[in-house]
Amino acid sequence: MNTKNPSDFYLKLPLSLFVLLLFFVHGLHAQSQTVDSQPGKVIQQFQYKSALQASQDAIDRVLSKHRFTDANGKGMTMHDFLGKPLIISMVYTSCYQICPMTIRHLSQVVDKARETLGEDSFSVVVIGFDTQFDTPQKMKYFAEKQGVDKKGWHALSVDSDSVASLSKELGFQYFTSPNGFDHVVQATVVDEKGQIYRQVYGETFDTQLLVEPLMDLVLDRAKSNQSFLSNMVNKVRFFCTTYDPRSDSYRFDYSLFIGMMIGGLIIILTLLFIISELRYAKRHRNA
């Protein structure tokens, strides 16, 4: 009777598993080569370092007069958004996780910024860069689903030629991937003249990273664009608005304003006292 030694089985098992693993890895490699070799199926690897550099290089660049179509089918241009700061976020509507998460978080931060700076102090545009699918109807549905179909927000579609030039100007890179697109997750802050001022990165980010540059643009504009009184009011708002980390929001710190008033009053009273003493001393000498 022929019997097998159990120890032989356990000795051969790792070798068998290793051989199977080699076949599996080889099969995956061959499959990837087949996909990559097919015309029109080449997937470019996303280079995060160069993408970040391109995004940073876009700062101070002035945006061209790009054309868009809003969620209601109305034609618009970049010129329609000049005159006050603008936030630009690029998405694609077939994204089921990152883009929705990004826009919902952006909406929360925008609400906090508007509580501090005013409802009409800046605008936000969400632009679909997947020109094949991001139609005005899809952008409208996306905005409704993410809760940004409200005042001060615009969901825009763009054609393939415009999205290429706009993306380049914004420093926004994206490439096709097995899951849709690999792309930079950024919110671009643009000033009232259409010049890129700041880039804010990530699906979620600290409130200050977006609100602070908006405060720079809204509250610290050039004096030539404002009356003296308006400029002074904005200066006071700028210095007296502080970030409260406990509530993750901005508030007007009246103690700073009161301290400034008390300090100014003390200086005035001190000057009046000195002038009074000088006059008294002068009269005393003349007597």
**pLDDT tens digits for range 263-283:** 888 999 999 989 988 887 777
pLDDT of 242 reads: 54
The helix/strand/coil state of 2 is: coil
Three-state SS for 188-222 is EEECCCCEEEEEEECCCCCHHHHHHHHHHHHHCCC
Token pair belonging to 254: 């009246």
| Contact (CB, 8 A) for 190 and 88 | yes
Task: Render pLDDT for 148-192 as a digit per residue (tens, 0 to 9).
Answer: 999 999 999 999 889 999 999 999 998 888 888 888 899 999 999
The reply to whether the predicted model has a pTM over 0.85 is: no
Return the domain boundaries, the chain.
48-220
CATH classification code of 48-220: 3.40.30.10
Confidence of residue 245 (pLDDT cuts 50, 70, 90): low
pLDDT at 252: 52
Q: Which residue has the higher pLDDT, 244 or 134?
A: 134
As a whole number, the mean pLDDT across the chain is: 79
Contact 253, 243 (CB under 8 A): no
Structure tokens at 218: 């809204």
Residue 234 pLDDT greater than 80, yes or no: no
Give pLDDT tens digits for 179-233.
888 888 999 999 999 999 999 999 998 999 999 999 999 987 544 444 444 445 4
Residue 266 three-state SS: helix
Instruction: Report percent pLDDT > 70 for the chain.
Output: 70
- Average pLDDT estimate for 46-64: 89
- HEC profile of 45-107: CCCHHHHHHHHHHCCCCECCCCEEEECCCCEEEHHHHCCCCEEEEEECCCCCCHHHHHHHHHH
The secondary element (H helix, E strand) that includes residue 122 is: none
